Amino acid sequence: MDDWFEIRVVARDVHAILEPGHWEQVISYLILGKESAVLFDTGMGIADIHGVVSGLTDKPLTVVNSHYHWDHIGDNHRFDHIAIHETEASLLEEDAPAELLREAMRAENFWGVPPPDFDPGSYCILPSKADHLLRDGDVLDLGDRRLQVLHTPGHSPGSICLLSEEEQLLFTADTVYAGPVYVQFEDSDLGEYHESMGRLSCLASRLELVLPGHNQTPLEPDILVEMAEGFEQIVSGGATYRMTDSAWGPLRQYEFMQFSVLLPLHA
């Protein structure tokens, strides 16, 4: 196994592939079925996640991207089959902003030692092309496991979660995690995020685990209810915030127990 990654079995035939050596603490998931497998996101591309996955399964595999942001598509180019929500498919084929990547690869952003062959100065995200476009309600059948696609816009227009109803698992990527959630981007949408969290919170009583795309995993399903209530407070004007400096300039930060919400000054 590559030392860059930490592998944890978080549920039956579900491997969390963590990248704890960078402050982003990205988490991808290898979800195994009887006949095929899904890799939910491909991480930052700092090390070869394809090699890790190949060591864990030889089943036919499809990459499912939760959304198009660079830290979740970094190794897409190593895989033959890629699926993403239809609204973001064309964005996989575009170059990630060079300035953003340079900032992300600064030495102080690393908490661990990168692979010896990794060069931050030449780091880039290679374009990839989806061969499967996803819509809300689509079902990915892995044989003995079915994953339902939930379109959960807000963080980005095409953000998705994957629901394994039989296993009572929800894979949430950047829509739900413990920590600051980002709603400050040009294509983020507070109203859509609010609606998405209302939808996800209705699932909480039927779930065992929430499996997010950053920081710690797994999480208890109560975070879905807390986030839905937090977004309701923000939208209704009942939440307070503080100003915080960030790489995107000054932002509003609304703080709750398990998470916070970052929004632009004028939204």
- The backbone torsions φ and ψ at residue 2, rounded to the nearest 5 degrees and listed phi first, read -70, 135
pLDDT in tens, 153-162: 999 999 999 9
Confidence of residue 247 (pLDDT cuts 50, 70, 90): confident
Looking at the domain assignment, is residue 129 inside a domain?
Answer: yes
Q: What is the DSSP annotation of 98-111?
A: HHHHHHHTSGGGBS
Tell me the average pLDDT across 107-115: 93
**What pLDDT was estimated at residue 218?**
99
Say what the alpha-carbon torsion angle 45, 20, 160, 54 is, to the nearest 10 degrees: 50
Looking at the domain assignment, is residue 31 inside a domain?
Answer: yes
Q: Assign residue 137 a region (left: φ > 0; alpha: ψ between -120 and 50; beta: otherwise).
A: left
Tell me the average pLDDT across 73-94: 98
Strand order in the sheet with 179-182: 179-182, 259-264, 251-255, 242-244
Domain count, the chain: 1
Q: What is the mean pLDDT of the chain?
A: 97
Looking at the domain assignment, is residue 241 inside a domain?
Answer: no
Range of 57's domain?
6-179+209-220
The pLDDT of residue 84 is above 80: yes
Cα 147 to Cα 164: distance, rounded to the nearest angstrom: 5
Tell me the average pLDDT across 115-135: 96
Looking at the domain assignment, is residue 186 inside a domain?
Answer: no
DSSP state of 73: S
Write down the pTM of the prediction.
0.97
Coil, strand or helix: which one is 83?
A: strand
Instruction: Retrieve residue 228's tokens.
Output: 């839905």
CATH number of the CATH domain containing 175: 3.60.15.10
Looking at the domain assignment, is residue 247 inside a domain?
Answer: no
Asked whether 252 and 264 are in contact (CB, 8 A), the reply is yes
Q: Hey, which bits of the chain come out as E strands? A: 6-11, 14-18, 27-32, 37-40, 61-64, 82-85, 132-134, 139-141, 146-151, 160-164, 169-173, 179-182, 209-212, 242-244, 251-255, 259-264
Looking at the domain assignment, is residue 39 inside a domain?
Answer: yes
**What pLDDT was estimated at residue 267?**
62
**What pLDDT was estimated at residue 266?**
78
Tell me the average pLDDT across 198-223: 99
Confidence of residue 248 (pLDDT cuts 50, 70, 90): confident
pLDDT in tens, 160-186: 999 999 999 999 999 999 999 999 999
Residue whose structure tokens are 């709603």: 183
pLDDT in tens, 45-67: 999 999 999 999 999 999 999 99
Asked whether 7 and 39 are in contact (CB, 8 A), the reply is no
Looking at the domain assignment, is residue 185 inside a domain?
Answer: no
Prior bond of 157 cis (ω within 30°): no
The pLDDT of residue 2 is above 60: yes
Looking at the domain assignment, is residue 110 inside a domain?
Answer: yes
The pLDDT of residue 1 is above 90: no
The closest alpha carbon to 13, from 203, 227, 167, 201, belongs to: 167
Name the residue type at position 225.
V
